[in-house]
Amino acid sequence: MSSLIVEVKNLVKQYAPPDGITAVNDISFNIQRGEIFSLLGPNGAGKTTTISMMSCLLKPTGGTLLVNGHSVTDEAKKVKQVIGVVPQEIALYPAISAQENLAFWGKMYGLRGTKLQERIQAVLKIAGLTDRAKDKVETFSGGMKRRINIAVGLLHEPQLLFMDEPTVGIDPQSRRRILDTVKELNAQGLTVVYTTHYMEEAEELSDRIGIIDHGKLIGLGTQDALTEMVGKYDIIAIEYDGLADAETLVESLTAVSTVHQAVIENGKLLAEVNEAASSLPSILTWAEKAELRLKGIEIKEPNLEAVFLHLTGRALRD
Ligand SMILES: Nc1ncnc2c1ncn2[C@@H]1O[C@H](COP(=O)(O)OP(=O)(O)O)[C@@H](O)[C@H]1O
Ligand SMILES: [Mg+2]
């Protein structure tokens, strides 16, 4: 058995060819058996398109894509046996109970009798919803629905689980629970492919991260390897009060000679510089000229945000 569970080579997806958008544009990477691999990128980057092709929901326009050694286009049946899919959109019947939803999906996967009952109990436990098994799904919070969605993906004991932004728009407790569940399942041997636009989630979960932007894979590696790429730079975060508009500030800050790139993120200005200590004076002079009232200046260790800024000149959350 190969140590690679996913092999992606020159993968392309163009919607509505020949004139439609190329959502995934010639990307290549492999996923190791047993790892948590995250695809990190902003909205519209091509994460759902990529993960949908890996999980046989969408046909590639070009390239090759093997899961467990089998082609997703020619041997989809074999691929589907080993994968579980947790899509971004929740596919549950609101008017029936959690348990009945799971029974419905379990039968779709070919589970029957005691095996089906065993698996339903097992996945309810993983989702932390055993005590709500008999309640109608329409009475569940968004986070609980997500957790049932994950339970569905685990019913047939997949080796590889695809999760597309499973924590978007849910309460903090459910989010925490989902992240912990991913780690637990992985510790028991499940390989996980996880997409997110939240840098903190990619940082917490991943063995390796692929950074995707405009359909291109622009960075790939462990978090350490990725941040080493920008390790020679520092990030200065500036908190301020002022009336100037953000775009003008970014433009004039970028023009400071010690600053490589600048962006606004969550109301703070971030500047990528060679060395924080030696560029601070010029940044303070700039702030005075721009008539900003500084509320705080922080020198940040390079993180994935810095990597994204370095690679694209934009903030991840733009
Ligand atoms: N069914 C579709 N038809 C046409 N364009 C699409 C379709 N689905 C997604 N797109 C476009 O493809 C690009 C990538 O989308 P998507 O893969 O959903 O990104 P992400 O999941 O990273 O937000 C976006 O520009 C999006 O508008
Ligand atoms: Mg998406």
CA proximity to 248, closest of 231, 229, 262:
262
Residues 74-81, mean pLDDT to the nearest whole number: 97
The whole-number pLDDT of residue 252 equals 94
| Ligand nearest to the CA of residue 44, numbered in listed order | 1
pLDDT class for 267, splitting at 50, 70, 90? confident
Q: Which residues are within 8 A (CB) of 212 and not within 5 positions of it... i.e. 6 or more apart? A: 27, 39, 40, 41, 45, 46, 47, 50, 218
Average pLDDT for residues 234-251, to the nearest whole number? 89
Mean pLDDT of the residues in the chain: 94
Residue nearest to atom 24 of ligand 1 (CA): 44
* % of residues, the chain, pLDDT over 90: 86
Q: Please give the average per-residue pLDDT across 23-27, as a whole number.
A: 98
Instruction: Give the whole-angstrom CA distance, residue 281 versus residue 271.
Output: 13
Taking alpha carbons only, the member of 302, 291, 243, 247 closest to residue 269 is 247
Tell if the pTM clears 0.85, that is, is over it.
yes
Q: 194 vs 24, 102, 160, 293, 307, CA distance in Å?
A: 17, 22, 11, 41, 19
**Domain 232-301, architecture per CATH:** 2-Layer Sandwich (3.30)
The Cα–Cα gap between 88 and 239 comes to 35
Q: How far is the CA of 49 from the centre of ligand 1 (A)?
A: 6
> Which pLDDT does position 163 carry in this prediction?
98
Residues 150-161, mean pLDDT to the nearest whole number? 97
Q: What is the mean pLDDT of residues 228-246?
A: 86
The atom number, within ligand 1, closest to the CA of 50 reads: 17
Asked whether 10 and 28 are in contact (CB, 8 A), the reply is yes
110-139 confidence digits (pLDDT tens): 999 999 999 999 999 999 999 999 999 999
Q: What is the CATH number of domain 4-222?
A: 3.40.50.300
Q: What residue segments make up the domains of the chain, in order of their start?
A: 4-222, 232-301
CB atoms within 10 A of CB 193: 25
Is 318 a residue whose pLDDT tops 70? no
- Written as one letter, the residue type at 46 is G
Please check the confidence at residue 217 and state whether its pLDDT lies above 80: yes
Ligand 1 cavity residues, CB under 6 Å: 15, 21, 23, 41, 43-49
pLDDT of residue 215: 98
Nearest ligand to the CA atom of 49? 1
Instruction: Ligand 1, residue 21: give the atom nearest the CA.
Output: 5
Strand partners, 194: 38, 163
CA-nearest of 173, 116, 179 to 150 is: 179
206: confidence class by pLDDT, cuts 50, 70, 90: very high
